[in-house]
Structure 1
Amino acid sequence: MYTRKVLAKSRKTRPLALVAYKTACERIFQVWFLVSAGGTYWYLFGKPSPFSLESVRPPGPLELDREKGSKILKQGECMRILYLFRLQEREISLENLDAIVIGSGMTAAATLAKESAGVPPKQSSSVINFCCCTTTSVERVTVKKDQEDVEVQAPVIISNCGVFNTFQKLLPAHIQTKPEIQKRVNMMRPGRGCLLVFSGFDATQEELGINSTNTWLFNSNDMDAMLVLKQKNKLVFQEVCTPLSNAYYLGSHLGSMCSAEQNLERFQAEAIARNCCDTPVKNLFLSGQDVFSSGIAGALHGGLLCASTVLKHIVYIDLLMLKKKLKRKKASGADEQVKKRL
């Protein structure tokens, strides 16, 4: 009797197992078919990639001279000041612009420029000290020129100033009070401020006994003992930065290190879906850390997401294809070197 019951149960479970197996195979085939069809459509009818192998160049040489290094570090700020000077003198044409980038949105600006002209912009910031003039959509930006306002028009406005600065300071008051704007702002909390200490030493890191790394975990709260300098006589410069410094020099909201707080609420599924590069204001897009995550990598991905939204083209696929091309090129170069040695 026991053997018959076991055989009967096994006969009943076999059809269920076969059905589950067939269902899994069908789903795998559907996913494979969709990926293949999408890839084929992308290859045949997709937009041309804004990236190319010609844009990739090896890193420049390490500059150890202080004066030359200072010039390189100040180059971006000099470009920004030079651009404003030209804007004030009206030496450049402000008409027929494709996009206006507010803030240091270099990733989005470079990707858009590569898509249109093939040459990335040299300026790290296109427009500074502005306010948006809008009713239902953004079409122009007003820039302060001495005591008068200069309107700069473009079909696309990209803000890399953060959610709070964009929605609470740059938009007109009657737009800020709209429910959809307030709902977007209330999704996030302002980031936290901190105290920064910048120290300069006339010595190498080997002489100082420090490693070039970020330390995020501490096994003690005795920071004085952990940060004591082994070569205090090598200290030649030190400056302290407070949240007030960030607010004054960087224009950060409430002097925070990052515009929005990196808490668990921000990375919930609904918050991620709602916190996109599109905004309730037509033709206004967000870029940078607030649409992805904090840090350099987060700002980079925020720029790529913004460029994909503006272009209506997933640039991540182009980057993946570029990565494969670079790998093949590197492999072929290595093979050629091996052949030469032989």
Structure 2
Amino acid sequence: MWLLAFLVWFLSWAGGMYWYLCGRPSPFSEDCVKPAGPMELNQKKRDKLLKQGEWMMSLSMHWLIYQKSKMPLKRLHYVGQLHENSLFKIIFDQITEGQLEFAELDQHFDTVVIGTGKETREYTICSGKTEMEEHLKKQFPDDTEAIEEFFKIMKLSARKTPYLAALKLIPEWLALFLVRSGLANLYSSAFQLLSMNATDLVEKLTSNKDLQVIFAYYFYGTPPRDSSSLINALMLHHFKRGAYYPKGGASEIPYHITKVIQKYGGNVLVRAPVSQILVDSQGAAYGVAVKKGKEEIEVRAPVVISNCGIFNTFKRLLPPEIQVKPEIQKRLDMVRPGKGSLLLFSGFDGTAEELGISAVSRWVFKNNDMDAMLVLMQFFFYHIEGFSVSKILGKEEAPENIPMMFVTFPSPKDPMSQIRHPGKSCMTILTMVNYEWFEEWKDTPVKRRGADYVEYKNRFAKHLFDWACVLYPKLREKLVFQDVATPLTNNFYLGSYRGAIYSTDHNLDRYHMDIMAKNRCETPVKNLYVSGQDMFSCGIIGALHGGLMCASRVLGRMVYIDLLVLKKKLKKRKALELAALTEKKLQ
């Protein structure tokens, strides 16, 4: 009897897998990727594609993407894990048909600067499967065991990350059973790392405060004491096999994706802000209301996917009577707003050689206590468990006392930069700030917020630029342009809730396993799904994971499996091509 039951189960499982893998067409294809064509350098032609607003034609499309700002573009500093036949390389090739090219940066891609004046220490970060670890050991010879252990944790985190995604893709009741029964923790230590704070982890590994900074230097607004050790380990591991930058700049990403969207019957519209998600009397989403000038146009659709974040989706776009529903409030209570950011953009009349700059980015810290620095910048709703702080930066003292910054030069990273903009260079500086410092101007019109707002944000700009000039003395004399983006700027152009470019806060509460299982792409509103950074983690790869998980739910199939099958096919094809080439050489 048991044997018969097992046989029936096995045949059902095998039949289901065969139907899944062979009975339905995969959304991905080996043949869609073609050799990259010549780069389009004509800005008018690029704008024609990237800045479309042709409404009557677009409303008849099979699917649409609406964008509030003038261009469907997100800032990108660099991205990792794009080596040959990596999963992310395959994904980018699929969604751009191989037309998006990336330039690999030099092995030394980051420098961590700690301290000021004579107390300044610099540590270089190099990519490489084994070189990253060995290079750190040379700089911290007394902490080789700590570095070895941290790299083991990095490797474990990367290998077991699919389990975290699985929590959001398997049925919720099953995910919660695995979490609450303790079976998930027994199955993999990755789940324990997920809920362990980064400070506790690094303090167990080493007492060297500088090395502790290295283990957690990718700041995204959450103090290490309140962030997940697994997510922090993934941040560094992401660049272990190299750092990459899109040839032609970040705008190449939406440019080529938009082409593929149009090829398959869709379109991307800019200057088309969604004002409301339409919900019928049965509580199901059936489209969106989109602003066209002073009018609002209803666009109906069987499925609505929101990529503008949980807070924007649930607190701004849903009808008021839906927002107050308990199930919506429960989803909002799972997360809290992320920290705002301020960016300084500078343009220079000079090449990288003339300015003394390179593609290497610098993460700069005034001291080696990241928890204290980030807590110093917290506001009233940020409470760091077990951490006491005697001082919080006030609005007036903040501009001259920012404790950390990220300095990067996009132009030296892009091999097309001097072709498109000969003799010019640019720099971006990013730091984290409180939204509350700028809140008094939130209702003023963009570019007309008043002299006091301009004066206030320029105080940040001066401090950050002066600090950068200590590292790069030749910048000041070649400066020709400067602009500052505050949390209000991010909110207006990117729709970032409270100006948080990394979306909801990436704190330990968000990565509690119970919350991970519940915070999924489906929403309490039928036919409405959420995607992006709020589903997994921050950055372009975190958003990409959010998109893949959302696609899996909407399509009713695990697109990750499709990608892994494709990865295996491509690896086999590559091996056959190399074998054929070797045989030809031997003849």
What TM-score comes out, normalization by structure 1 length?
0.73
**Comparing 217-226 with 230-239, which one deviates more in the overlay?**
217-226
Secondary structure of the structure 1 residue equivalent to 2:340: coil
* 2:338 pairs with one of 191, 203, 220: 191
Q: Do structure 1's residue 333 and structure 2's residue 577 form an aligned pair?
A: yes
Amino acid in structure 1 at the alignment position of 2:509: E
Does the Cα contact within 8 Å between 1:102 and 1:158 map onto a contact in 2?
no
Superposed CA deviations along residues 289-326 of structure 1, whole A, max 9, x for unmatched, are: 11111100001111111111000011011111111222
* 2:27 pairs with one of 50, 70, 78: 50
Does the Cα contact within 8 Å between 1:101 and 1:127 map onto a contact in 2?
no
Amino acid in structure 1 at the alignment position of 2:21: Y
**Which runs of 5 or more structure 1 residues have no equivalent in the other structure?**
1-31
What's the counterpart of residue 281 of structure 1?
525
CA distance in 2, matches of 1:208, 1:139: 54
Superposed CA deviations along residues 212-256 of structure 1, whole A, max 9, x for unmatched, are: 344457474587556522322333332211111111222211112
Quote how far apart the aligned CAs of 1:100 are.
Answer: 4.7
Does the Cα contact within 8 Å between 2:521 and 2:530 map onto a contact in 1?
yes
Q: Do structure 1's residue 82 and structure 2's residue 70 form an aligned pair?
A: no
Does the Cα contact within 8 Å between 1:132 and 1:172 map onto a contact in 2?
yes
For 1:252-331, list aligned pairs within 5 A: 252-331=496-575
Residues 143 and 194 (structure 1), Cα distance of their counterparts in 2 relative to 1, 3 Å cut: closer
What's the counterpart of residue 94 of structure 1?
59
Secondary structure of the structure 1 residue equivalent to 2:316: helix
Give the number of the structure whose alpha-carbon radius of gyration is greater: 1
Q: Do structure 1's residue 148 and structure 2's residue 295 form an aligned pair?
A: yes
**Which runs of 5 or more structure 2 residues have no equivalent in the other structure?**
1-9, 75-90, 97-257, 368-402, 406-465
What's the counterpart of residue 15 of structure 1?
none
Secondary structure of the structure 2 residue equivalent to 1:273: helix
What's the counterpart of residue 130 of structure 1?
275
Quote how far apart the aligned CAs of 1:145 are.
Answer: 3.1
Does the Cα contact within 8 Å between 2:52 and 2:268 map onto a contact in 1?
no
For 1:9-88, list aligned pairs within 5 A: 39-45=17-23, 47-59=24-36, 68=41, 75=47, 78-79=48-49, 81-83=51-53, 86-87=54-55
CA distance in 2, matches of 1:38, 1:227: 62
What's the counterpart of residue 249 of structure 1?
493
Superposed CA deviations along residues 185-223 of structure 1, whole A, max 9, x for unmatched, are: 111111111221112334444554444344457474587
Secondary structure of the structure 2 residue equivalent to 1:267: coil
Does the Cα contact within 8 Å between 1:194 and 1:243 map onto a contact in 2?
yes
Does the Cα contact within 8 Å between 2:284 and 2:526 map onto a contact in 1?
yes
CA distance in 2, matches of 1:131, 1:337: 57
Aligned pairs, number:
294
Identity value in percent: 46
Quote how far apart the aligned CAs of 1:330 are.
Answer: 2.1
Does the Cα contact within 8 Å between 1:100 and 1:126 map onto a contact in 2?
no
The structure with the greater share of residues assigned to helix is 1
CA distance in 2, matches of 1:207, 1:339: 49
Residues 315 and 62 (structure 1), Cα distance of their counterparts in 2 relative to 1, 3 Å cut: same
Residues 53 and 235 (structure 1), Cα distance of their counterparts in 2 relative to 1, 3 Å cut: farther
Quote how far apart the aligned CAs of 1:270 are.
Answer: 0.9
Superposed CA deviations along residues 87-138 of structure 1, whole A, max 9, x for unmatched, are: 1xx3x2635x65454446999xx69x9xx99837452769533311213000
Residues 268 and 283 (structure 1), Cα distance of their counterparts in 2 relative to 1, 3 Å cut: same
For 1:220-235, list aligned pairs within 5 A: 220=367, 228=470, 229-232=472-475, 233-235=477-479
CA distance in 1, matches of 2:355, 2:575: 40
CA distance in 2, matches of 1:284, 1:211: 45
CA distance in 1, matches of 2:278, 2:307: 17
Amino acid in structure 2 at the alignment position of 1:271: I
Secondary structure of the structure 2 residue equivalent to 1:56: coil
CA distance in 2, matches of 1:300, 1:174: 32
CA distance in 1, matches of 2:467, 2:493: 32
**Comparing 196-205 with 146-155, which one deviates more in the overlay?**
196-205
Amino acid in structure 2 at the alignment position of 1:264: L
Residues 205 and 238 (structure 1), Cα distance of their counterparts in 2 relative to 1, 3 Å cut: same
CA distance in 2, matches of 1:206, 1:180: 57
Amino acid in structure 2 at the alignment position of 1:42: Y
Residues 62 and 102 (structure 1), Cα distance of their counterparts in 2 relative to 1, 3 Å cut: closer
Residues 43 and 118 (structure 1), Cα distance of their counterparts in 2 relative to 1, 3 Å cut: farther
Does the Cα contact within 8 Å between 1:100 and 1:158 map onto a contact in 2?
no
Give me the CA root mean square deviation: 3.7
Secondary structure of the structure 1 residue equivalent to 2:534: helix
Residues 194 and 34 (structure 1), Cα distance of their counterparts in 2 relative to 1, 3 Å cut: farther
Quote how far apart the aligned CAs of 1:144 are.
Answer: 2.3
